[in-house]
Amino acid sequence: MLFLTTSLFFYVIFSCAQPALPPRSLTVTPTQAIQFGTLCLTGSSGGTVTVGWDGSRMSTGGIILLSMAPSAQPAIFEVKLCQGRSVIITFSATTTLSGSNGGSLILEIGPTEQGGNSAVFATNNDCNFITPLRVGGTLLIPGAALPGSYSGGFEITFNQE
C-alpha cells in the first residue's frame, strides 16, 4: 500500500510601511511678463509705480498713470507639480531694468499671490495639474529718469519639498 501525503503551504505576508511619496516632477513655465503700462513723470521728485499680483496699478510722487497700451499686468508663471508636494520660492528683492535711451530703473519684485517667498499649491490627483503663480512689483523712478522703454528680467527659484 502506498500512502501519498500532500501538504499545502500557504504563505501570507503582511507588509506595513508609509505610502511612497509622489514623483518629484516640477515644471515652471513663464507665460506673462510683468508690465507697468505707460506713465508720465512730472516734476523732479520721482516716484513709484506698483503693479499688484492681481493686476492693480497705483503710483506715488510725481508719476501720472496713462491708460494707453501696453496695459499693466503681473508676471505669471504656470507651475505643474504632483500631488502631495509643496514648493518654496525664492528670488532677489530687486533687479535693474535698462532703458532704451541709456537710463536704468530699479524694480522691487513681489509680492506674489501666495504672500511672500513660500508657496503651497493646490494639486489634483495626477502630475498634470497646473497652478498659476502671479507676481507683482514696484518700479522706483528717480526724478532724473530718462524717457524711453525699460526692460529686464528676474529669476525665481522653485524648490520642491
Could you tell me the pLDDT band of residue 17, with boundaries at 50, 70 and 90?
low
Whole-number percent of the chain with pLDDT over 70? 76
18-40 average pLDDT score:
81
Assigned C-alpha cell, 112: 506674489
CB atoms within 10 A of CB 136: 23
Q: Tell me the three state secondary structure of residue 34.
A: coil
Q: What are phi and psi of 63, to 5 degrees?
A: -105, 125
pLDDT of residue 18: 61
Closest CA to 63 of 32, 85, 42: 42
Q: What is the DSSP letter of 24?
A: -
Residues 105-137 pLDDT 10s: 999 998 888 766 556 665 556 677 788 889 999
pLDDT of residue 132: 87
pLDDT higher than threshold 90 for residue 97: yes
What pTM was computed for the model? Answer: 0.78
Largest CA distance in the chain: 118
pLDDT of residue 84: 65
Higher pLDDT, 101 or 87: 101
Q: Distance (Å, rounded) from C-alpha 34 to C-alpha 107?
A: 11
The answer to whether residues 81 and 87 touch, using CB atoms and an 8 Å cutoff, is yes
Q: Distance (Å, rounded) from C-alpha 143 to C-alpha 93?
A: 22
pLDDT of residue 52: 94
Enumerate the domain spans of the chain.
26-160
Place of cell 494639486: 123
